[in-house]
Amino acid sequence: MSTKNQRIKATLKDTKERRKHMICRVYTVKLDRSHVNHDSLARLRLLFLEAKWLYNYCVGHPHVFSIDDTITAVPVKVKDRFELRHLRQLSSHMRQSIVTRTQQNIRGLARVKVKGYKVGRLKFKSYVNSIPLKQYGNTYKIINEKYLHIQKIKQKLRVNGLEQLPHNCECANATLLHQHGEYYVAITTYAPREHTTAMVAPTKSIGIDFGIKNQLTLSNGIRIRYKVPVTHRIKQLCKQFSRKQYRSKNWWKTLYKLLKAYAKTTNIKRDIRNKLVHYLYTNFQVVCYQNENLGAWQRLWGRRMLSTSLGGIIRMLEIKVHTPVEIDRFFPSTKTCSRCGHQRPMSLAERTYICYHCGLIIDRDVNSSRVLEHEGNRILGRGPTEVTPAETNTSTLTLEYLNQIAYVKASMVAETGSLTALA
C-alpha cells in the first residue's frame, strides 16, 4: 500500500474516533429559487434526471456489484428502443454515491429476506428525489451564512436556514433533495457535546391505550385528543388536479401545489408525534402499549385514521423511550379489571367499565391503560404500580404543556367512582 493511501486511511480513522464523542445533527436548508438563474435551475433539473438514469441502469444491470462507478454514459429506454445518454452534470462523487446506495439497498433487502420476510426486488423509478453529496469542500461547500456551492453549478446558490448551524460544528456529508417543486439540502453536522447537568433518569412506568375517539389515554388519567383534518385548500387542489391534462405544465404546477399542501399537514402531525413522545421519554422509564391492528382500523375508519399519526407514535416509542414494552395484540386489556384482574365481556358501546366482582367503576380507556401497565411491569419482573393522589396532581400540571401543542386537547378523566364517570 502506498504512503498516500496509508495517510488517507489514518486520517479517516482519526476522524471517526473524534466524531464518536460529538453530537450528530442534520439541518435542512432551502434553496431560494427567487435568487437562482435559469441556467442553474436547468442544471438542477438535469442533475436529478441523470440521477434517475443512473439509478435505473443500476437496478436493471445483471451484475450490479461489478458496476464501475466512473461510468460516464448509460443506456436509457425511449419508447421501444435504447439510447445512450451521457452523464455530464453528475460529478464522479455523486455517481459513486448513487451506485453505492443502490448496492446497499440490495444488501439490506437480502438481510431482511434471510430473516424470513417476503421481499421483492428494487423497482425502476420515474424520478429520483435525493442525491448524496459525499464530500464537504468538494461536492458542496458553505460559503457564508447565505450562500453555498454545489459541484458542477457555477452560480453561488442562496439558501435560507444556514444560520441555524452551530458556529463550532463540523460539516460532513449532505443530501440534495427535490420535494414538491422546491430544492433542499440536508446537511449532517458534528458538534462538541455541551457539559450540562445530567438529567435524572425517570423510574416510573405508564400504560397507553390507543383509540379512534381518544387517540391516547394514559394510565395516570390523562386523555389526549388531536385531529389534523384535510384542509379546504387540499380539497380545492384535488378538484383542480383532476381536471388538468395529464403531464401538461398546469398539471405539474397543480401537482407541486398539492404535494406542498399535504407536506404541511404531514409536518404538523410529525410535530405532534415528536412532542408527545418527548413527554413520555422525559417522564417515564417504562412505557407499556399494545400491538394494535392499525391496518384494520384504517379499513374501518379511513378518514379518521388519516387525521392522526398513531402508527408513527408507536414506531417512535419503539426507538426513543427508555424501556418500551409491547403487549400482544390479543391480550384482553379491555375485558380485564385493573384492580382485581377479573374479566367480563365488553361491547364497543360501553364507555365505562363496571367490575361486578370488586365493584370498580372506571373509564373504559383508563382501565385498559392501567391493565397494560400492570402487564408490562409483570413481563419485566417489576412490582404492581398504583396511581397515588400525588401523581394525579403532578399529572394535572402537565396538561398546560400538552395543551400548548397545536391541535392537541388534553384533559383529566373523571375520577374513579364519581358520578361523572357514569355519564
Which residues touch 36 (CB under 8 Å, ≥6 apart)? 44, 155, 157, 158
Last residue within a domain, chosen from 145, 168, 192 = 192
Q: How confident is the model at residue 415 (pLDDT cuts 50, 70, 90)?
A: low
Q: How confident is the model at residue 419 (pLDDT cuts 50, 70, 90)?
A: very low
Residue range 10-69, pLDDT digits in tens: 777 778 888 888 899 999 999 999 999 999 999 999 999 999 999 999 999 999 999 988
**pLDDT of 107 above 70:** yes
pLDDT for the residue 421: 43
Q: Stretch 366-387: mean pLDDT, rounded? A: 86
**pLDDT of 396 above 60:** yes
- Distance of alpha carbon 377 from its chain centroid, rounded? 28
Q: Are residues 210 and 136 in the same domain?
A: no
For residue 10, is it within any domain? no
Q: How confident is the model at residue 392 (pLDDT cuts 50, 70, 90)?
A: low
Q: How many domains does the chain have?
A: 2
Q: How many CA atoms lie within 13 A of 273 on its CB side?
A: 20
Instruction: Give the SS3 label for residue 109.
Output: helix
Q: Are residues 318 and 386 in the same domain?
A: yes
Q: How confident is the model at residue 384 (pLDDT cuts 50, 70, 90)?
A: low
Q: Are residues 153 and 250 in the same domain?
A: no
For residue 260, is it within any domain? yes
- DSSP for 61-92, written as a single string: -TTGGG--TT--EEEEEETTEEEEEE--SS-H
All cell numbers assigned to 82 = 435504447
Q: Are residues 45 and 187 in the same domain?
A: yes
For residue 385, is it within any domain? yes
pLDDT for the residue 21: 82
Q: Stretch 4-13: mean pLDDT, rounded? A: 74
Q: Are residues 136 and 224 in the same domain?
A: no
Q: What is the rounded CA–CA span in Å between residue 329 and residue 318?
A: 16
pLDDT for the residue 2: 67
Which residues touch 196 (CB under 8 Å, ≥6 apart)? none
Q: Are residues 51 and 107 in the same domain?
A: yes
Which is more confidently placed, 416 or 35? Answer: 35
Q: Is 292 exposed, middle or buried (0-12, 13-18, 19+ CB in 10 A)?
A: middle
Which residues touch 152 (CB under 8 Å, ≥6 apart)? 43, 47, 89, 90, 91
Last residue within a domain, chosen from 192, 217, 233 = 192
Q: Stretch 301-305: mean pLDDT, rounded? A: 85
**DSSP summary character for residue 415:** P
pLDDT for the residue 391: 53
For residue 7, is it within any domain? no
Q: Are residues 236 and 176 in the same domain?
A: no
For residue 5, is it within any domain? no
Q: Is 368 exposed, middle or buried (0-12, 13-18, 19+ CB in 10 A)?
A: buried
Residue range 397-412, pLDDT digits in tens: 788 889 999 999 999 9
All cell numbers assigned to 83 = 439510447
Q: Are residues 344 and 384 in the same domain?
A: yes
Q: Where are the beta strands (DSSP E) in 72-196?
A: 73-78, 81-86, 130-133, 140-142, 147-150, 157-160, 170-179, 182-192
Last residue within a domain, chosen from 140, 158, 192 = 192
Cα–Cα separations (whole angstroms), residue 248 to 48, 77, 255: 19, 22, 11
Beta 323-327 vs 286-290: how paired, if at all?
A: parallel
Nearest CA among 355, 348, 369, 229 for reference residue 297:
348
For residue 9, is it within any domain? no
Q: With a threshold of 0.85, does the pTM exceed it?
A: no
Instruction: Give the SS3 label for residue 412.
Output: strand
Q: How confident is the model at residue 417 (pLDDT cuts 50, 70, 90)?
A: very low
- Distance of alpha carbon 317 from its chain centroid, rounded? 12
**pLDDT of 423 above 50:** no
For residue 254, is it within any domain? yes
Q: What is the rounded CA–CA span in Å between residue 23 and residue 37?
A: 36
Q: Stretch 200-214: mean pLDDT, rounded? A: 86
Task: Give percent of the chain above pLDDT 90.
Answer: 70
Q: Are residues 124 and 218 in the same domain?
A: no
Task: Give percent of the chain above pLDDT 70.
Answer: 92
Q: How many CA atoms lie within 13 A of 406 on its CB side?
A: 9
Which residues touch 166 (CB under 8 Å, ≥6 apart)? 189, 191
State the DSSP H helix or E strand holding residue 266, giving kind and residue range, or none if neither.
helix 249-283
Q: Are residues 271 and 171 in the same domain?
A: no
All cell numbers assigned to 186 = 440536508
pLDDT for the residue 404: 92
Q: What is the rounded CA–CA span in Å between residue 173 and residue 133?
A: 6
Q: Stretch 331-349: mean pLDDT, rounded? A: 91
- Computed over every residue of the chain, the mean pLDDT equals 89
Q: How confident is the model at residue 4 (pLDDT cuts 50, 70, 90)?
A: low
For residue 39, is it within any domain? yes
Residue range 254-286, pLDDT digits in tens: 999 999 999 999 999 999 999 999 999 999 999
Q: Are residues 151 and 262 in the same domain?
A: no
Q: Are residues 133 and 175 in the same domain?
A: yes
All cell numbers assigned to 221 = 388519567
Residue range 313-328, pLDDT digits in tens: 999 999 999 999 999 9
pLDDT for the residue 205: 92
Tally Cβ neighbours within 10 Å of residue 223: 22
Backbone angles phi, psi at 285, to 5 degrees: -80, -45
User: Which residues span the domain enclosing 326?
Assistant: 205-422
All cell numbers assigned to 326 = 409491547
All cell numbers assigned to 218 = 394514559
